Every structure is written in C-alpha cells, then in structure tokens.
Amino acid sequence: MKCSIVLLSLMITFGAANIVPSARSSCNCVCGARGREQKIVGGSETLPNELPWVAALFKQNKLYCGAAIISTRFLLTAAHCVSNFEPHEIRAFVGGHNISRDYSEIKKIKRIIYHDEFDIFSFDNDIALLELENPVFYGPRVSAICLPSGDQTDFTDQLTLISGWGRLGEKSPTSSTLRSVIVPIWSRKECSAAGYGTSRITDNMMCGGYPEGKKDACQGDSGGPMVTEGPTGSMEIIGIVSWGRGCARKSLPGIYTKITNYLDWIQEHIEGECLCQPRVGQRMNYLEKLMNRNQL
C-alpha cells in the first residue's frame, strides 16, 4: 500500500548482516536466498516461495501493507503503516504466496517500534519495526532478507526488485498472489527534478521507477521491501515502499525510505537478535540477467 500524497491515507543488499555489531551473527542460516529462479517480471506474479522474506500486514482481515522479515522476531516496514495502530490490531502473514488461501503462518504483533521523528505529513523517517509475539521458523517458505553493509550509500541506476500484494493499478483491486517488478534507482538530481518538487524529497528518501511510468509499487504495497543483489549474490533490503502520487504515473517515481540511513536505528532496537549471514559467493548480476531474459 503506497501512501498517496494527495490522499495522505493508507493505500497501497547482500552486505554482511553483521553490520549490526550488537546483534548476534552466529545463526546457522543464510539471508537473502531466493527460493526459486524468477521467470516473470514487470508487475507479474512471482513463483511460490520465490521471495520468502516478504510478509503481508492485515487489519480486520484486510490486506493493507507489506513488510520484510529481517530476523525470526522482527519485521521491517513503513512507519505510516503502523503508527496509528495498536499491536493487537495487526496480523502478519508470512510464508505464503496466495493470501486468499495460503494461510501458512499468521503472526500476532507484540510491539510496534516506529521512528520517533517520523513525520506523517512529509513521510520523512518512514520506517518501523514489528516485534512478533512468537518467532517465525526458517525453511523453504520463510527466511530473512539481508541488511545492507552500509558501505554503499549511492544506488543510482542500480536495479531493484519491489514486491507485494498491492493493487494492480490505481483503480484496480489488490492482488491475491505476490507480484514483483524491477525498477532502477534515480539520481538525487533526477529525483529532485521529478513532479514532486525539490523540497519534498529528503536525504532519507530514494526515487525508483521509469520516466515513462507503467511500472511501480501501488496501494497495498507500502511497507514492502525494495531489494537488490549484494556483492556476494545474496539479496539485501535497501528501501521500503513509502509514498508517491498515484501509481506508475509518468515522471512521478515511487518514493522509498533509504535503509542505509537507519542501520544504527535498527541496531538499537534489535540488539541481541540473531541475524542470518549472506551467502559466501560472488555477485551474479541476477536482476540484470532477469531483465535481459525478459527483454525488459
């Protein structure tokens, strides 16, 4: 559920995860591992269990936002998705593909932690953590996304994958199956020159999309992860779907919370949490190959 700046309402990195120094990093697990090779993109349905770190948030049995699994007890999402709710009002859906039937794991929320400088009007600092009442168990359907190392802070022109169960268009219903799309990151100059005005885009935000529009996050996707391939070939989260005007409009990119600006904040609130590590390997240019194979 991307938040529209018109309505101001809810609508819609494989760096080493041990960048959180106070978090335990000795877990016997790997983060950012894709479940299966993706074959369709551009707003198309993913394969079941292909993106096992993606979670859906429900209120009163209705999908309203997305989130990402970063450990067995914590989800990362957008502050605007949770700042007005109590923990008992939200449920997290993990380990499934079709939200109309795959209720494999529904998790209760123990605690909501949103950034204390989150601004509901500007959407600056649009980041939050959800602590689960009971941990998830890793397996083929559920695993964590890697946090970025923080070594890279400029992602201009880098390809990213965004995913969620949000609307297929501004006036379309939400999707029952998890869908994804590849979008490039815009430069700060391009972002500031977009139709939002220079004052709307802060240093805590990134723009992603295409000048011609057509591919974007939409209502129901807010809070979901923007991921890219890290140096070892694992996927890492570098952004959170935050806001935009409409969906996939020309010259109006989607706006994403920049995760590398909040690594210390995340560290502070998940202190002692055991984090999975990226795989040992090399970058595989996965998203580039995916784009070329699909001639996108």
SS (H, E, C) 40-73: CCCCEECCCCCCCCEEEEEECCEEEEEEEECCCC
Active-site option among 4, 71, 80, 175: 80
Question: Rounded distance, CA 126 to CA 109, Å?
Answer: 19
Q: Do residues 235 and 143 touch, judged by C-beta distance below 8 A? A: no
Contacts of 199 (CB under 8 A, 6+ apart): none
Radius of gyration of the chain (CA): 17
Give the residue from 256, 239, 249, 63 showing the smallest Cα distance to 165: 63
Sign of the Cα pseudo-torsion (184, 218, 199, 202, in order): negative
Catalytic residue at 80? yes
Q: Which amino acid is at 169?
A: G
Sign of the Cα pseudo-torsion (191, 197, 199, 204, in order): negative
| DSSP 8-state class, residue 139 | S
Query: Kind and range of the H or E element at 206?
Result: strand 205-208
Sign of the Cα pseudo-torsion (257, 261, 263, 265, in order): negative
Catalytic residue at 126? yes
Active-site option among 126, 149, 175, 242: 126
Active-site option among 175, 180, 222, 242: 222
Catalytic residue IDs: 80, 126, 222
